Amino acid sequence: MATAGHAVNAGALALEGVRIAIGGRTLVDGLDLSIGAGECVTLMGPSGCGKSTLLAFVAGSMDAAFDARGRVLAGGDDITALPPERRRIGILFQDDLLFPHLTVGGNLAFALHERARGRDERRARIAAALAEADLAGFADRDPATLSGGQRARVALMRTLLAGPRALLLDEPFNKLDAQLRGEVRRFVFDHALERSIPILLVTHDEADARAAGGRVLRFGDGGPPRS
Ligand SMILES: Nc1ncnc2c1ncn2[C@@H]1O[C@H](COP(=O)(O)OP(=O)(O)OP(=O)(O)O)[C@@H](O)[C@H]1O
Ligand SMILES: [Mg+2]
């Protein structure tokens, strides 16, 4: 049994006894992990060891080909059996494309459809999110006209506007050049941690892990994770 971190159940995001296998190969076994509000845990390990699969298990989007056991708790609620749209888990990928047929504002509105009541409230929340991302006045822009850093900030805002209870980051900085990577990384951590949500970051980059500033969990090749 591998235990990473504090007592199970104490965190805003908790995994209990997670085991994930596919075709006779065990990717994750006996994983207990608790991430507190405003804490970022970094998950590292070789390609193919199951990092993205574990995030998919948490988000509820894991392919049916995998055999998974264990529980996911968010804010103390067992969300293991819920469909992805009811889990309120935000996820950001390296290929997080904005919808090309929508404006920047339309992309942000997409995250709000159930949470904001009237049109005025939606517009106000979008304007506030754009201002927070230093993109005031960008609502009518075509996403294709944004820089890489601007696009990354809009993608984060879209994820946060949906009011997630936890944020999963799957190598979200990979496509950015070194300088932009540092800036976007700071932006993501600052704005996510400001909301006091737990973050689980997957990366191959030690500098990302250092910037995250929290515990680092290392998956071996099929072995249990090491803290
Ligand atoms: N839908 C699927 N069906 C069968 N096998 C899959 C499926 N998705 C992933 N796999 C396999 O499961 C293993 C874990 O994949 P996963 O994407 O979780 O790795 P990873 O740790 O995220 O790797 P990387 O660092 O390269 O992103 C790999 O061997 C992969 O080939
Ligand atoms: Mg992956």
Which one is the CATH code of 13-101+164-218: 3.40.50.720, 3.40.50.300, 1.10.8.10, 1.10.3720.10?
A: 3.40.50.300
Q: By C-alpha distance, which of 95, 38, 85 is closest to 61? A: 85
180 CB within 6 A, ligand 1: no
**Does ligand 1 have an atom closer than 6 angstroms to the CB of 47?**
yes
Q: How far, in Å, from the CA of 102 to the mean position of ligand 1?
A: 31
Lowest-confidence region among 7-16, 83-92, 113-122, 190-199: 7-16
Quick one: pLDDT band at residue 1, thresholds 50, 70, 90?
A: very low
Contact (Cβ atoms closer than 8 angstroms) between residue 176 and residue 152: yes
Does the Cβ of 52 fall within 6 Å of ligand 1? yes
**Token digits of residue 8:** 């199970």
Q: Is the pLDDT of residue 9 over 60?
A: no
Segment 13-23 shows an average pLDDT of: 97
User: Per residue in 60-99, is it b (16+ CB within 10 Å) or e — as a string?
Assistant: bebeeebebebbbbbeeeebbeeeeeebbbbbbbeebebe
| Nearest-ligand number for the alpha carbon of 222 | 1
| DSSP letter (8 states) at residue 184 | H
Q: What is the whole-number distance in angstroms between the Cα of residue 140 and the centre of ligand 2?
A: 33
Mean pLDDT over residues 89-113, rounded?
89
Give pLDDT tens digits for 41-87.
999 999 999 999 999 999 999 999 999 999 999 999 999 999 999 99
Q: Ligand 1 pocket, 174 CB below 6 A?
A: no
Q: Is the CB of 27 under 6 A from ligand 1?
A: yes
pLDDT at 18 over 80: yes
Phi then psi for residue 181, to 5 deg, are: -55, -45
Q: What are phi and psi of 223, to 5 degrees?
A: -80, 175
Mean predicted confidence (pLDDT) in 155-181: 92
Q: Is the pLDDT of residue 5 over 80?
A: no
Nearest atom within ligand 1 for CA of residue 45: 21
C-alpha dist (Å) from residue 158 to 3, 110, 161, 184: 33, 8, 5, 15
- Annotated domain spans of the chain: 13-101+164-218
Query: Taking all residues of the chain, what is their mean pLDDT, rounded to a whole number?
Result: 89
64 CA → ligand 1 middle, Å: 13
33 pLDDT band, cuts 50/70/90, is: very high
Record the tokens describing residue 221, joined without a space. Answer: 């090749």
Ligand 2 midpoint to CA 41 (Å): 16
Residues 169-211 pLDDT 10s: 999 998 888 888 999 999 999 998 889 999 999 999 999 999 9
Model pLDDT, residue 152: 92
